Amino acid sequence: MEKIELTCIMCPLGCQLVVSKDKNAITVTGNNCQRGEIFGKEEVTCPMRMVTSSVKTSKGVKACRTTKPVPKSMVFDVMKEIEKLRLKSVKFGEVVIKNVLNTGADIVITAND
């Protein structure tokens, strides 16, 4: 059985969670509320992260983001996709990559025009 220690980030209490993982089940101990259990389970199964960065355009770099969180393990891959872009100009809210790496998330421009 695998045991992972985590600090819960759902509230300032910061419970020290122990997430135990075996073939059949994942159990969370050390949490004081249900949000801690959900957080603990998600962090060991499929942690998700929003990616923000900047795309390179001929008018300098422009801030961008994923429209929703992507698997944590894919963050650097998503960064590589963002790096591939060399755009002329972009507009606020413009989607510059659709469904990046099949994550279901788009890369959208967040910088002011």
Which residue in 49, 71, 87, 95 binds another protein (CB under 8 A)? 49
Q: Which is nearer to another protein, 22 or 61 (CB)?
A: 61
**Site track for another protein across 59-98, x = CB under 8 A:** -xx-xxx------x--xx--x---x--------x------
Angle at 65 between CA 60 and CA 45, to 5 degrees: 145
Which residue in 51, 74, 100, 105 binds another protein (CB under 8 A)? 51
Q: Where are the alpha helices (DSSP H) in the chain?
A: 34-45, 75-84
62 neighbors 52 (Cβ within 8 angstroms): no
